[in-house]
Structure 1
Amino acid sequence: MWPPSQASKFLILLVLILVVIYCVFMDTLLYMRVQYYSIETFETSTQTTFQESPTTRLRALSYEDVVWIPCSVNPLCHPTVKALMVDHINHYIYGPLCAILDKALRISDRMLFLTPNTISCAHVFIAMIGANLLTCPNLSVRRMGIVLFQIRMFLDDLDGHVARERKHIRGERSEVGSLGYWVDGICDLIGVVAMMLGIFVYFKQYPPRRGYRGTSASALPYYQLKEMNAAENMEKDHASDVGISYKTKVSLKAIIQVIILFSGQMVLSSVAWNRYINVYQEMFENGNGYLAGRLVTFRSVRFFCATLMWRILNPHSYLHVLSLAVFIDKTWSLLKSVRYIGYVLLLLAVFVTEYLISGFEASVKTSVDGR
């Protein structure tokens, strides 16, 4: 029989593996759906430009006619630019759950007093409660805080779903500049700030430890708190000069630096992600010309990979990874390990995306067939 701690670790690892497998499987289905079935945004071009192509006749099939999961809860039915760039957890798990909850409670139809902006404001209060729980020394209490933050992210998905349902918009879409866009963004910002403040307060009260192993005792900072390695179980006065693990508190300055560096990554990720959603929506969904070119480019492997990159690096993915780290009590390890490399990956993604955008623009204007 496994100890409870080992069983808990195994269960968390098993759930994580299953979620990753599920997301990869859904990404594969999404790619096949884009390739082989009609897309509403480009239906005009499909009907008028590719009528003689056997491939086009296959692609003219409606996905709703062949799928057995209703499109009201199926995240693959309406592929849009934003749908291709939303993180995996929100798109494949929270999205369908929001649709199911909406159908069950008929929020969009009957609960008209429950506006999207009201839902957005509600998850701010949940974030405040969750942030308070994150400051507690007990891991179980901090895990409850993470559960509340996941509920906050679920409600963040729900407000967008309700807004689209009431406006009869099919598929994910950002209405840049609208009141709902700004309210949702501000509420999201408050929620993220609350989470980071909760983590900061916890580290301020219970600083992480920085260990020294096999270091000369005379070189160690004795004025700081020391903890001997449990396996060695020796008092300082009777310890040998080497071979002991001393763990000292990380300074408040170092904690602030790491928190700021990670927060900066989320800001950079958010700005870039929202910018590219707007750019791609203008390129593929808001234009009136080059219908054939837009369809071919939208279905290209390059575009799918470009959006997949931001599915992984968008701010919601950051929050999910951070939530997992808090849940398994590895928050400091995560923040410290990505404080620099995260910027490298984000800047590389920005440079690659800027380069690809010019190629996509040229492809939209020059593509005239399905090759």
Structure 2
Amino acid sequence: MGLHVSEKRYIIGFFIIYICFCFVMDVKLHYRVINYSIRPDNGIKYESSVPCDLNPFCVVTAKGLMLDYINFYIFGPLAALADRTIGFSKCLWLSPNAISFSHVIVATLAGHLVSNKSLTQRRIGVILFQIRTWMDDLDGLVARKRKNISGERSDVGSSGYFIDAICDGLGTTALLIGIFCYLKSYSPRQRGYEKLQPMIPLVNTNQIGSCVVQKKKIRFNNVLPTVLLITGTLIGSSIAWNRYIDLYQVLLETDNVDKLISKNELFTRQTQVFRSNSFWVITTAWKLINPHALTDYILASIFFDRLWEYLHAARWISYIIIVVLVYFTDFQYFQSDAYIKNVPDQLVSEIFMNSTGS
């Protein structure tokens, strides 16, 4: 089962528009970071023509810069718009945790639809899972508003932080189970039929020239290992991504003043790290490799009816990309930490060598 030519054109056109939109938004975000203040009273203040909760450029945070495109530029503002319209954060009976548990139910339904033989049903499952992602943005927005936290930040160590992580994990597990059931039961690329060479029967002469096509069922034993490998990439990406969000939040968004530098100097150095090319390369890479982005790639492959091709191609290369990104992120973080804490330059390489066990 494939896509019609006209359908392919519409989908490809949509994705081209989406990519151009993300590129333009990234350029605007970079301009905002370079030309306006990031830390308090450290440059020209950024003035927004729309409410800041709807504008992802207002408050610049490490997590925001590392968040995937669809969450940061689309679902985040849509969640804020829904909150302004309906007032979720003002409904005290509706807790962020309740929203988190609700999107697990939506994800479970999405996983069930993704396991369906019908491509239409699977596409509906993809849309439902994206609704779950929007709800995940909504619970974070409600939690931050009730704690008067502005911008994209993780409240590391709170009960809501762990509950949200558990619910995200359950939702993704439901999707992966649906994918496994589909590949094991319906995928024509995994359990289809292969035509063998035509055979000429010798029963009577009237049948000479007619072909009898035998079919042999194709069985693949690597469906489960492939799904498990993809699951591993999601887990590895999630652990690393959340770790670096926590580290960079503490490093770049703290107001604690080291004895060696003044508060103004601290803010200046934090701003310089935010504006550095190396930090932008690292955060852009995490936008593309974080667990939300990796899940979006899987969803896109389902929508395009190319699920197995994607999983089979990504099952090993994803690990290599994540390991390389973790190495360079560690190096960039160490350099930024040393600079902000005013570690003398001659000690930087020595400390790094000791930290890597060389």
TM-score range relative to shorter protein = 0.7 to 0.9
Partner of 2:236: 268
- The answer to whether residue 109 in structure 2 is matched with residue 142 in structure 1 is no
How far does residue 363 in structure 1 lie from its aligned partner after superposition?
2.1
How far does residue 302 in structure 1 lie from its aligned partner after superposition?
1.3
In the superposition, the TM-score normalised over structure 1's length comes to 0.82
Amino acid at match of 2:248: Y
State the secondary structure of the residue aligned to 1:227.
strand
Deviations 1:127-151 (A, max 9, x none): 1111111111010011111111010
Partner of 1:175: 155
Question: Which segments of structure 1 move beyond 2 Å, counting only runs of 4 or more?
Answer: 67-70, 207-210, 224-228, 246-250, 289-292
Aligned residues: 323
How far does residue 4 in structure 1 lie from its aligned partner after superposition?
8.2
Identity score, percent:
38
State the secondary structure of the residue aligned to 2:244.
helix
How far does residue 156 in structure 1 lie from its aligned partner after superposition?
0.4
Question: What does 1:201-212 align with in structure 2 at a 5 Å threshold?
Answer: 201-209=181-189
Partner of 2:218: 249
- The answer to whether residue 102 in structure 2 is matched with residue 122 in structure 1 is yes
Amino acid at match of 2:21: Y
| Structure 1 residues 206 and 304: alpha-carbon distance in aligned structure 2, compared to 1, 3 A threshold | same
Contact 2:104/2:171 (CA < 8 Å) preserved in 1? yes
The 10-residue stretch of structure 1 (265-274 or 280-289) with the greater mean CA deviation from structure 2? 280-289
Of residues 246, 253, 258, the one that matches 1:285 is 253
Cα distance in 2 for partners of 1:238, 1:141 equals 41
Amino acid at match of 1:236: P
Question: What does 1:2-21 align with in structure 2 at a 5 Å threshold?
Answer: 5-21=4-20
Partner of 1:108: 89
Question: What does 1:1-371 align with in structure 2 at a 5 Å threshold?
Answer: 5-39=4-38, 42-44=39-41, 46=42, 60-64=43-47, 67-109=48-90, 111-209=91-189, 226-228=193-195, 236-238=198-200, 249-251=218-220, 253-289=221-257, 290-366=266-342
Contact 2:61/2:153 (CA < 8 Å) preserved in 1? yes
* CA RMSD, Structure 1 to Structure 2 (Å): 2.3
Contact 1:37/1:62 (CA < 8 Å) preserved in 2? yes
Cα distance in 1 for partners of 2:216, 2:340 equals 58
Amino acid at match of 2:297: V
How far does residue 5 in structure 1 lie from its aligned partner after superposition?
1.9
Amino acid at match of 2:115: T
State the secondary structure of the residue aligned to 2:58.
coil
Contact 1:130/1:145 (CA < 8 Å) preserved in 2? yes
Amino acid at match of 1:27: D
Cα distance in 2 for partners of 1:247, 1:284 equals 60
Contact 2:189/2:308 (CA < 8 Å) preserved in 1? no
How far does residue 296 in structure 1 lie from its aligned partner after superposition?
1.4
In the superposition, the TM-score normalised over structure 2's length comes to 0.85
| Structure 1 residues 132 and 16: alpha-carbon distance in aligned structure 2, compared to 1, 3 A threshold | same
Cα distance in 1 for partners of 2:107, 2:54 equals 27
How far does residue 99 in structure 1 lie from its aligned partner after superposition?
0.8
